[in-house]
Structure 1
Amino acid sequence: MDLFDDLPEPTQTSGRLSAPSASDEEEERTAKRRREDGGEDVEVKRVCKEGLPELKAYVAARRGEREEMQDAHVLLPDLMGFLPSQPELVSRLSYFAVFDGHGGARASRFAAEHLHHNLAKKFPPTEPGRSCRLTCVSVGRKPSWKDGSTATCVLVVDDVLYVANLGDSRAVMCRTEAAADGQQKLLALALSKEHNPTIYEERMRIQRAGGTVRDGRVLGVLEVSRSIGDGQYKRCGVISTPDLRRCQLTANDRFILLACDGLFKVFSADEALRFVLNVLQEAGVEQKAGLTEEELRFEAACQQLASEAVKRGCADNVTVILVSIGC
């Protein structure tokens, strides 16, 4: 299987993202030749791509009817400061993640505190996807406690998304496309793959390892077939190897939604995206110092989506992250 599962991309229209110019491509080729020459007296220039979309992240969390908030999240619009050395040909590095804990909050908090640090240590600009996979595997095996956690992590390298996920938390892209009647068509692009024991490949792996699937759960207990932690289930075929997807941002992309399964128990992906779009299009918005109207709308959409999930009867923890993709 390929390391990356590329998502389909519509023909890009004119907008905030532009193709690299001839001078940009020549500069990249020059930088590559300089690195290959290995000359100590030659300065390698860092390539700065113009027209990168601006990313801003918003989060809302609700405890629901649970006694404890077991979710955790990370918002790092600038991950560069965590790298041991600055990459030469990368202009922007961002990281956003949601972790849905079960059996306790230790695994989700551990992942939120450590995964991006480990990723930064392993990050090579030529193979960011491999870095994501190795990081999830290493972090997923370390906790010896019985707590477990899902993980849905988005690494943005310039204008390319690398999404690694374990379990049933999800990432969805809101992309618009011109329809035949001239209207804008909404596309909900899945950036993650759900891992539960009822999926054939997951069930077969669990059974080959000597485990069983009862009532849609591993050993009749665990709802997910891949996770961080869950040490007692690793012998039953529950693994910490994530699925990876790569997606090129386009001028038609509006925002990215990351959320735990608490949201998707009461919302389909399409419904969640349309709910956000409706809030973004509302006429009135309360002004707050230091925030633009667009920022206020995204903040309101994020908070209202999480609250609506609870109103619809979700008793689970709910964590929602919206990453706006702007000019």
Structure 2
Amino acid sequence: GHGGRRVADFVQEELPRMIFEFMVMGIKAKGLKKGLSSKAIPKILKHAFLQTDIKALARCAEGGWADGACAVVALIVDDRVHVANLGDSRAALCRRRRPGDDPGPRRVGCRPRRSVRPSAACCAPSPCPPR
């Protein structure tokens, strides 16, 4: 983690639990027997990340932590890969490339890697402390 491992450890435990809970809630709310469609997953991931962030901030306030963390989640549903990230970590899906090859951005609106500004979440007072 940024500044320590407490928040990283917390996110590692809490985020998967939140994703699971929101998926179960979505299935129960819609009365689905076969599970959720891939259209529901982006909202589930967004809410899980948001709730994890809220809980992490509360834990930071309680414990006086000044830690931070990044996270990447990839969830496969209905032959689709859904990816979400927190902070400056990113996922890369590659095939038939050598390790270390950097294909760069592959969709409209992506910026080249060197111009991406880190946006890591942290519990410290704004702005985040330098790394």
Q: Answer 1 or 2: which has greater helix percent.
A: 2
1:133 aligns with 2:15: no
Of the candidates 120, 123, 131, which is equivalent to residue 230 of structure 1? Answer: 123
Question: TM-score, normalization: structure 1?
Answer: 0.27
8 Å contact 2:42–2:82 — kept in the other structure?
yes
Counterparts of 2:92 and 2:105, CA distance in 1:
5
Of the candidates 109, 112, 122, which is equivalent to residue 12 of structure 2? Answer: 112
Query: CA offsets per residue over residues 20-50 of structure 1, 9 Å max, x none?
Result: xxxxxxxxxxxxxxxxxxxxxxxxxxxxxxx
Structure-2 change in CA distance of 1:187 and 1:107 (3 Å) = closer
Query: CA offsets per residue over residues 261-301 of structure 1, 9 Å max, x none?
Result: xxxxxxxxxxxxxxxxxxxxxxxxxxxxxxxxxxxxxxxxx
Counterparts of 1:164 and 1:103, CA distance in 2:
23
Cα RMSD for the two superposed structures? 3.0
Query: CA offsets per residue over residues 119-152 of structure 1, 9 Å max, x none?
Result: 1111131301111111111111222221100111
Counterparts of 1:155 and 1:190, CA distance in 2:
21
Q: 1:169 Cα deviation (Å)?
A: 1.8
8 Å contact 2:2–2:69 — kept in the other structure?
yes
Runs (4+) of structure 1 exceeding 6 A deviation are: none
Counterparts of 1:232 and 1:111, CA distance in 2:
19
Q: Answer 1 or 2: which has greater strand percent.
A: 1
Of the candidates 63, 67, 78, which is equivalent to residue 158 of structure 1? Answer: 78
The higher radius of gyration belongs to 1
Counterparts of 1:167 and 1:156, CA distance in 2:
21
> Greater relative contact order (Cα 8 A, min sep 6): structure 1 or 2?
2
Q: Name the count of aligned residue pairs.
A: 98
Q: 1:170 Cα deviation (Å)?
A: 2.2
Point out where structure 2 has 5 or more consecutive residues left out of the alignment.
27-35
Counterparts of 1:117 and 1:139, CA distance in 2:
9
Point out where structure 1 has 5 or more consecutive residues left out of the alignment.
1-100, 177-185, 200-215, 217-223, 239-327
8 Å contact 1:106–1:147 — kept in the other structure?
yes
Q: 1:175 Cα deviation (Å)?
A: 2.9
Counterparts of 2:46 and 2:10, CA distance in 1:
17
Counterparts of 2:78 and 2:103, CA distance in 1:
22
Question: TM-score, normalization: structure 2?
Answer: 0.61
- Find the counterpart in structure 2 of residue 172 from structure 1: 92
